Chain A
């Protein structure tokens, strides 16, 4: 009984949300089901000091990445230039000027966002990308044939390619420490390594509640936006910021997941194989009709 009631309330709330916010926010809800208990990470950029400990921890745990000395991660001059993840690094920290306080620059850590509805998973021709129920989007280099459609598809521009590798280049991106730690009950290496506790690992739903609470408690500290809660249908990694997200290097994106644009087209064309068969039958009938008419003449 109480279960029914809760469902009814949820439906009513959903309907209200639909009416209040327009169709966009809720539209993706019907598109795919996501595990409500999936994990996520909340990144509070206002706490980050740009020490690059996360980069170091990432390089240490991912032993198939090019090795770098522990010393190299102490070099803060790399922050003078905005970097992106590449074939050498699954995560990078960037520094951005703070328009509110010039003496206090803002730091932001980037890695794969681990989308709820990932473009790479939808795009991949051989299914080399999969999304685990825990929320991790993982890559199987054995299946990959190197077409790089995933690089073009990703709205966050995350996957990187080993163009320099001649014989067996791979797509490189953060694994959420899926094989190395997550499946063994440990939290991702970067989250663990952070001395400032910038990142919080937990159930995604709990993290959204936590983020809302933080925004509510110190409205001066944060802009009222959880980046990743809805962007491209939602991501496992979510961010809080004191200044607008465009100022710290995040693209402005809508709420529809990328596959919501292509998959309906794709599946409409192949619905029960009817459209191709229909076209075949139509053309066949025309051919038969015109040919029989000719014979009759």
Chain B
């Protein structure tokens, strides 16, 4: 990894009015999280024996993992496929992936009934190789560590020669500085191992997330149940990686009063029609092969959500990404990216609860207000920590006129 890219800590005021809103949402959400920990799942959620997986699994975990795909897709693009041009987006994408995956774990803690047993899958005598969830869990756990390692050089760059702890801790300045230098030196030589591992691990668990609900063929609606589901999950995660980078970059630039980095984002969006088109072809091919188009015009939650997430929020953005004019227009590109991001989110929710039709269900599962509050609160927490990181560390590209 070279350090010659011009990334720098953002020198802007931290608490803007927008950030105040973010903090308010974050505090509310974490309050709900505390409430869940003190009073249990029954008092916070609308989960029941038929709908055991809800909003927190569909959004915090499944969507969180999908939207963090920007990390491995940009890593693959820049380092493996050697597209140096996109170097500036690597760090923000890496930071988002790192925070995204960290909060997959945090979100999961609120959903797990016995959250204090979250370490159990790591204990060899409890390994269960037949479980798809075990594969997902292990890969996410290892990948999270890979992401932390990939992030270390950014910390090194900021603090080497600048470690300055106050008071008595000052004694640690020298050893810490040596440690950073050592880590930077070693990682600079072997980082490629972790970059490739990150891509492989991502492919494994992104697809396995799609295998999870394949075990329930009589509950998941035929529009969503398919043996190809793991391929769909992987293909859509790869497709959403660059739109997610575009989305974040444009929000960050707007928030810091910079011009959108269209010289990078427009060429980056050129890959999306291919990746998204591949996913759409797979989905339509699977539908034709299995004959599930017969369900398209029935009146059910599954068919409605399918039209929304696939028709409106996947196929339409695909055509938008096809258009050169839209790719060049900041607003058009932003809208297209945002649409597909929402589309992926709804797709994951469809698989985990909207198109899930369990036997003996008494009524449809509609997430409780508390579930929404925690989910939105966690997103706000990610935004907050992202801002802290880009303020302290050289993540975002240094603006040209500053």
Contacts and interface: CB of A to CB of B under 8 A. Distances in A.
Partners in one complex: yes
Given A125-B134, A259-B215, A280-B196, A146 B207 contact: no
Given A145-B120, A286-B81, A262 B132 contact: yes
A182 B73 CA distance: 54
Interface string B117-155: 110110000111111111101000000000000000000
Question: For A122, A144, A269, which residue has the most chain B Cβ atoms within 10 angstroms?
Answer: A269
B130 A169 contact: no
A163 B39 CA distance: 10
A153 B216 contact: yes
Contact of A148 (B39, B52, B132, B358): B52
B114 A261 contact: no
A122 B129 CA distance: 9
A258 B215 CA distance: 5
Interface stretch (A54-62, A154-162, A195-203, A208-216): A154-162
A159 B359 CA distance: 13
A263 B82 CA distance: 36
A261 B217 contact: yes
Contact of B112 (A124, A146, A156, A162): A146
Contacts of A296: none
Interface stretch (B198-206, B235-243, B260-268): B198-206
Interface of B is mostly: helix
A253 B49 contact: no
A144 B117 contact: yes
Interface residues of A, number: 59
Nearest to A278: B200
A154 to B, nearest CB: 8
A22 B379 CA distance: 51
A170 B117 CA distance: 12
Nearest to A129: B128
A147 B360 contact: no
Interface stretch (B24-32, B40-48, B369-377): B40-48
Contact of B207 (A148, A157, A259, A269): A269
A143 B130 contact: no
Contacts of B342: none
A119 B132 CA distance: 11
A165 B39 CA distance: 8
Contacts of A157: 49-50, 358-360
Contacts of B45: 163
Question: For A122, A145, A270, which residue has the most chain B Cβ atoms within 10 angstroms?
Answer: A145
A160 B49 contact: yes
B230 A149 contact: no
Question: For A121, A127, A249, which residue has the most chain B Cβ atoms within 10 angstroms?
Answer: A127
Contacts of B356: 152
Contacts of B127: 127
A279 interface: yes
Contacts of A254: 217-218
Contacts of A165: 40, 113
A155 to B, nearest CB: 6
Contacts of A149: 52-53, 131, 133, 212
A256 B129 CA distance: 20
B204 A276 contact: yes
Given A153-B215, A169-B40, A283-B196, A127 B128 contact: yes
Contact of A152 (B52, B197, B203): B52
Contacts of A145: 112-115, 117-118, 120-121
Contact of A284 (B126, B137, B196): B196
Nearest to A121: B130
A276 B208 CA distance: 13
A266 interface: yes
B112 A290 contact: no
Contacts of B118: 145
26 contacts: A123-B132, A124-B128, A125-B131, A127-B128, A144-B114, A145-B113, A146-B115, A147-B112, A148-B53, A149-B131, A149-B133, A152-B215, A155-B218, A157-B50, A157-B359, A163-B47, A165-B40, A166-B39, A256-B217, A261-B217, A266-B130, A276-B204, A279-B199, A286-B81, A287-B79, A287-B82
Q: Which 7 A-B pairs have the closest CB atoms?
A: A146-B113, A151-B52, A145-B117, A166-B40, A148-B52, A163-B42, A169-B113
Interface of A: 84, 86, 119, 121-127, 143-149, 151-153, 155-157, 159-166, 168-170, 249, 251, 253-254, 256, 258-259, 261-263, 265-267, 269-270, 276, 279-280, 283-284, 286-287, 290-291, 294
Given A155-B217, A280-B200, 7 more contacts: A84-B360, A127-B128, A155-B219, A157-B50, A170-B113, A266-B130, A280-B197
